[in-house]
Structure 1
């Protein structure tokens, strides 16, 4: 097994779903096969931003041929998680030593490769840079590395990654469920500006923390990941109704109400029934997840 960088361009012709499946031509098959069971990092351009960036990590669980396109294959992925921020590939003098040369120049032959195998320490350094931002609004109960705070009256802080840390602790922390839940909540609250997508309400408690919750569209226990595209910011009551299939979303982000609701809840929702989603397409709920929710959770 070996770790790798997967190049991804939003709205490309490839049949990608971030964190679910990666579509690629046969020329990269031998490299991708080496990654099965190991972790990869997404890399590529981000609309509205110059340069190229590392944006998240996932685990490769299987590789299969594409039955509809000869000489193309899918890498199926699990455990995707977004980085706190896009990480520039030339930060800290460059993370991939075969890509960014000691004099700062770029290896053009390496840069055009859509799949690049990387060393464990390079991988760990990128993840460290991508998951080091503290949560501006941590939960009172968050404690990522300890079961309980030493002092129940004190609020534990998120412990950042240490740059240069060895790969194994990095992976053990990124698969830690409390850590992932905290990061998912941090990312969703930030991109929705702490505002409930269904009600339009932005409620802040006395301590300055938002009351909005981060909801998974496909629950983790049913195969969902921690991509922001599998998330949506919802207030507590609306979150409860969404998880129980009483509310859902169309691919156009219209709020759908189940006929099994025993009361009219439209007065709780935005008047035009259009969910307030982020302006950037790459941050909005993906149709892949919304279709699953409508087909497996929503009580029509």
Structure 2
């Protein structure tokens, strides 16, 4: 069609469009669906790489469903379960520190985020690895959160071995650099006695964190070492 419209000066055809819709996604959103995040939007026709279209079909069932179907952008339960299967299978190989750029479409990444959180909390039995608390809301939802050891802000990978279950307080303390882990899984505490909270966290120093019973899901030393490096800790195991 593109060739007939623009690259064939001898053509005497006239093309009319009779069936169309104005209810479509913004071009920026479509590019996000295809994994072209942050790239300039081209004008006119451009060919989309086959693997990007295949990823879109895997996520939504068809290109039409991705663009025209109404409803939530949240991944389905089936998509999350598929992502869980992929993450479980990934622990059989060597862990990679970061995600490859544009490795997943936006929807597939959302499914992986949900799958990562579920699997990490399940591996730790909904219990904080540092304090051992397993609080619940009145309706039974666990308070514990799935933390990335090498953080998501650094493009840390959604690998179960890059995860640890922490209560909200110790998740914050771990992410902010109050706490880290030694190679023997004992807790390290930042030496800042003049800061509020130091004496509370100091009580955890040297204690060994609770680990998943399934050794495949225990934190990998690569991620732990990068967390220490990021926050200026030395390994004292």
TM range (shorter): 0.5 to 0.7
Segments of 4+ in structure 1 off by > 6 A? none
Within the alignment, does 1:160 sit opposite 2:78 as a pair? yes
Provide the C-alpha distance between the structure 2 equivalents of 1:214 and 1:208, rounded to a whole number of angstroms. Answer: 17
Q: Structure 2: 5+ residue runs without aligned partners?
A: 1-53, 59-70, 82-103
Provide the C-alpha distance between the structure 1 equivalents of 2:177 and 2:232, rounded to a whole number of angstroms. Answer: 4
The structure, 1 or 2, with the larger RCO (C-alpha pairs under 8 Å, 6+ apart) is 2
Provide the C-alpha distance between the structure 1 equivalents of 2:141 and 2:76, rounded to a whole number of angstroms. Answer: 15
Which string of whole-angstrom CA distances, capped at 9 and with x for unpartnered residues, describes residues 74-130 of structure 1? xxxxxxxxxxxxxxxxxxxxxxxxxxxxxxxxxxxxxxxxxxxxxx79xx6xxxxxx
Out of 238, 242, 250, the residue aligned to residue 182 of structure 2 is 250
Relative to the length of structure 2, the TM-score reads 0.53
Which string of whole-angstrom CA distances, capped at 9 and with x for unpartnered residues, describes residues 157-206 of structure 1? 9532499xxxxxxx636643x32221111111101000000000111111
Provide the C-alpha distance between the structure 2 equivalents of 1:241 and 1:187, rounded to a whole number of angstroms. Answer: 22
Which string of whole-angstrom CA distances, capped at 9 and with x for unpartnered residues, describes residues 201-230 of structure 1? 111111111000110011122121111100
Conserved? CA contact 1:249–1:294, under 8 Å = yes
Q: How many residues align?
A: 144
Conserved? CA contact 2:178–2:190, under 8 Å = yes
Question: Higher strand proportion, which one?
Answer: 1
Q: Structure 1: 5+ residue runs without aligned partners?
A: 1-119, 125-144, 148-155, 164-170
Which string of whole-angstrom CA distances, capped at 9 and with x for unpartnered residues, describes residues 46-69 of structure 1? xxxxxxxxxxxxxxxxxxxxxxxx
Q: Which has the larger radius of gyration?
A: 2
Out of 257, 265, 278, the residue aligned to residue 212 of structure 2 is 278
Please tell me the root mean square deviation across aligned C-alpha atoms, in Å: 3.2
Match of 2:116 in 1: 184
Out of 159, 163, 179, the residue aligned to residue 227 of structure 1 is 159
Provide the C-alpha distance between the structure 2 equivalents of 1:221 and 1:283, rounded to a whole number of angstroms. Answer: 22
Deviation of the 1:245 alpha carbon: 1.0
Out of 183, 192, 195, the residue aligned to residue 127 of structure 2 is 195
Provide the C-alpha distance between the structure 2 equivalents of 1:239 and 1:259, rounded to a whole number of angstroms. Answer: 18
Conserved? CA contact 1:218–1:292, under 8 Å = yes
Match of 1:172 in 2: 105
